[in-house]
């Protein structure tokens, strides 16, 4: 059962719904126009513009922004309005399929919001665009009203040049807006979908035909079946006259081949519509395989827009596994492996802080983080007259250092010459260790934040009985939260000691002392955090809660001391110089 303070925190988080919007505008060359559109987006509070990717050859700009649903919809509407004023589709030319000034506008659920809720927002936005701007609007993907319109390619079939004829057909009457051709603005597709990665793979050829052949090999739709026995290649049809298609190798992948004059290369341009089914690294490897089979070679790749951190980490771990190397290393190192393996820096430098969503949002947060301090600055900040960071943060950091030593031994063991058959065993231990490191580093700042919450509660007004009651309640909630943080540090430090024990027993014997020091640090983290549990719990009125948490904490402390003794005995036996 969750505590009162945890429920309060969970409820606060649940209220912060986040959606992503990735509109594509049919302008990639005039930066003045692009700037006016993005300025309209940034004019809305509660919205963060995280990427603007303009393509000269495609004459198309992909914009990505994140925020709360209502604010994102407002920013999206303003952007569509500005694009309709500035972009003239009758004069537009580019490599990418398109049929409107704002060509597509998808909403993507990011956190604390369901797809059904996102669909409702998308349809309401589509209606507003149609009602207020009179632009023909088609709802696609999850927001589609009919199966016929679910696929964006079907909605956009015929592109801008065929839009006038399309709008004249009853079956293609828009969902919202005018059902007549508007030469200047064209039409727009508004949808709700899962996270999509726009991903291009570079080839050592200029041939669009060869690139298309590979695209047809890998994309889910595949290619039309043809009669190979006929001197003239003919498409094969069924008894009803419908074309028969041969499916491609990858589900949830859309792909075409094109030539990018800006870089002088042909590319396989892919939309990875479900990265759980077809992640970036699998798509890359499959294109490499098919390119080689056709006498071509992949030279690198390009990420258009932004990507979730998990996609990059999954890619890095995938290639590390192929190399039989441990994945229990820092996220920065894993990302570096992903970038180099995928060739994401071939055409231009890949900057994680500008390409990975979580890093972009972190950069927007100006809040000071203790874990970002240098070692010297952290020590000096601890030594200052400020009461935080205090013993709780230091305990968490000691635990993180202990887990780091255990993880180091695992990584060294995975890479040890002659131990190749055991690399995966040690890699698994290293990855476990890394999860403890990451969790404990978060607790360094969480413990200080918890202390600050208590100070904020004590600072609340107490002029009358109501204010006194509210103040007392807030103090109790903050104190309970400040008790639970070091208790969780105790659990993490103790659990991390299993890594040190395993490494003392089976790891590289030359580093057995490091496993022992790791155990000492982790046990110190347990006992240090226990002191903080005690002192914070002493300020709580709920004595049953206090009794229970102190009993649990005492058991963790006793078990940690016992495990430390076991680990040190193993270490001493291995380094016995007698």
What residue ranges do the domains of the chain occupy?
16-192, 197-223+243-362, 367-574
Is 93 annotated as catalytic?
no
Residue 367, pLDDT score: 59
User: How does DSSP classify residue 348?
Assistant: S
Residue with token string 């030593």 = 405
Count of CB atoms situated within 10 Å of the CB of 47: 21
CA distance 399 to 403: 6
Residue 207, pLDDT score: 95
Of 53, 445, 447, 514, which one is the catalytic site residue?
Answer: 447
Q: At what angle do helices 309-322 and 357-364 cross, to 10 degrees?
A: 130
pTM for this entry: 0.74
Domain 367-574: give its CATH code: 1.20.120.680
Residue with token string 């932004």 = 306
One digit per residue, the tens of pLDDT, for the chain of length 578 reads: 333 333 333 333 334 788 999 999 999 999 999 999 999 999 999 899 988 988 888 899 999 999 899 999 999 999 999 999 999 999 988 778 899 999 999 999 887 889 999 999 999 999 999 999 999 999 999 999 999 999 898 999 999 999 999 999 999 999 999 999 999 999 999 999 988 899 999 999 999 999 999 999 999 999 888 877 666 667 777 777 788 889 999 999 999 999 998 899 999 999 998 888 999 999 999 999 999 999 999 999 999 888 888 899 999 999 999 999 999 999 999 999 999 999 999 999 999 998 988 888 776 655 568 888 889 998 998 998 888 789 999 999 999 999 999 999 999 999 999 998 999 999 999 999 999 999 999 999 999 999 989 999 999 999 999 999 999 999 999 999 999 999 999 999 999 999 999 999 999 999 999 999 999 999 999 999 999 999 999 999 999 999 999 999 999 999 999 999 999 999 999 997 64
> CA torsion angle for 168, 169, 173, 178 (degrees, to 10)?
10
CA distance 276 to 279: 6
Residue 462, pLDDT score: 92
Residue 418: exposed, middle, or buried by beta-carbon count in 10 A (0-12, 13-18, 19+)? exposed
Inter-residue contact 135 to 180 (CB < 8 Å): no
CA distance 98 to 3: 53
Residue 122, pLDDT score: 97
Q: Does domain 197-223+243-362 have CATH number 3.30.70.670?
A: yes
Is 314 annotated as catalytic?
no
Of 53, 96, 314, 514, which one is the catalytic site residue?
Answer: 96
Residue 368, pLDDT score: 64
Domain 16-192: give its CATH code: 3.30.990.10
């Amino acid at each position: 059962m969750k505590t009162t303070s945890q429920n309060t925190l969970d409820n606060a988080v649940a209220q912060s719904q986040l959606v992503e919007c990735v509109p594509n505008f049919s302008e990639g060359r005039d930066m003045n126009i692009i700037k006016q559109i993005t300025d309209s987006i940034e004019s809305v509070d509660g919205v963060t513009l995280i990427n603007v990717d303009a393509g000269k050859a495609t004459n198309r700009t992909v914009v990505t922004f994140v925020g709360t649903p209502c604010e994102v919809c407002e920013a999206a509407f303003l952007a569509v309005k500005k694009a309709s004023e500035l972009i003239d589709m009758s004069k537009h030319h580019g490599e990418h399929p398109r049929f409107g000034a704002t060509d597509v506008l998808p909403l993507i659920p990011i956190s604390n919001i369901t797809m059904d809720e996102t669909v409702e927002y998308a349809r309401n936005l589509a209606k507003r665009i149609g009602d207020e701007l009179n632009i023909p609007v088609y709802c696609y993907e999850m927001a589609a009203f009919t199966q016929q319109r679910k696929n964006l390619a079907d909605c956009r079939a015929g592109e801008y040049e065929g839009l006038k004829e399309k709008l004249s057909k009853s079956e293609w009457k828009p969902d919202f807006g005018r059902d007549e051709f508007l030469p200047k603005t064209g039409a727009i597709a508004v949808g709700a979908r899962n996270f999509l990665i726009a991903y291009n793979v570079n080839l050592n050829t200029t041939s669009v035909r060869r690139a298309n052949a590979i695209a047809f090999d890998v994309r889910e739709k595949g290619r039309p079946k043809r009669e190979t026995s006929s001197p003239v290649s003919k498409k094969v049809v069924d008894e009803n006259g419908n074309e028969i298609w041969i499916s491609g190798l990858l589900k949830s992948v859309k792909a075409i081949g094109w030539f990018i004059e800006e870089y002088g290369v042909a590319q396989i341009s892919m939309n990875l519509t479900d990265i759980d089914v077809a992640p970036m690294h699998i798509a890359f490897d499959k294109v490499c395989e098919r390119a080689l089979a056709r006498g071509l070679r992949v030279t690198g790749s390009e990420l258009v827009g932004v990507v979730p951190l998990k996609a990059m980490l999954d890619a890095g771990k995938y290639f590390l596994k192929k190399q039989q190397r441990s994945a229990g290393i820092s996220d920065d190192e894993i990302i570096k492996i992903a970038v180099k393996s995928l060739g994401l820096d071939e055409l231009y430098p890949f900057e994680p802080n500008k390409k990975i969503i979580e890093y972009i949002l972190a950069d927007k947060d100006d809040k000071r983080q203790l874990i970002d301090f240098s070692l010297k600055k952290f020590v000096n900040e601890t030594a200052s007259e400020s009461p935080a960071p205090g013993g709780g943060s230091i305990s968490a950091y000691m635990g993180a250092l202990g887990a780091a030593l255990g993880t180091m031994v695992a990584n060294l063991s995975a890479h040890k010459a002659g131990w190749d058959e055991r690399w995966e065993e040690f890699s698994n231990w290293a990855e476990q260790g890394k999860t403890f490191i990451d969790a404990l580093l978060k607790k360094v700042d969480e413990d200080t934040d918890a202390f600050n919450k208590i100070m904020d509660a004590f600072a609340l007004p107490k002029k009358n009985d109501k204010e006194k009651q509210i103040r007392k309640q807030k103090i109790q909630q903050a104190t309970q939260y400040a008790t639970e943080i070091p208790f969780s540090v105790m659990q993490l430090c103790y659990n991390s000691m299993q890594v040190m024990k395993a490494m003392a027993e089976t790891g590289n014997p030359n580093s057995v002392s490091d496993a022992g020091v790791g155990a000492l640090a982790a046990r110190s983290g347990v006992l240090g955090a226990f002191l903080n549990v005690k002192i914070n719990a002493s300020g709580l009125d709920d004595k049953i809660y206090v009794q229970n948490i102190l009993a649990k904490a005492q058991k963790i402390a006793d078990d940690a001391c016992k495990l430390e003794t076991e680990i040190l005995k193993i270490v001493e036996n291995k380094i016995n110089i007698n």
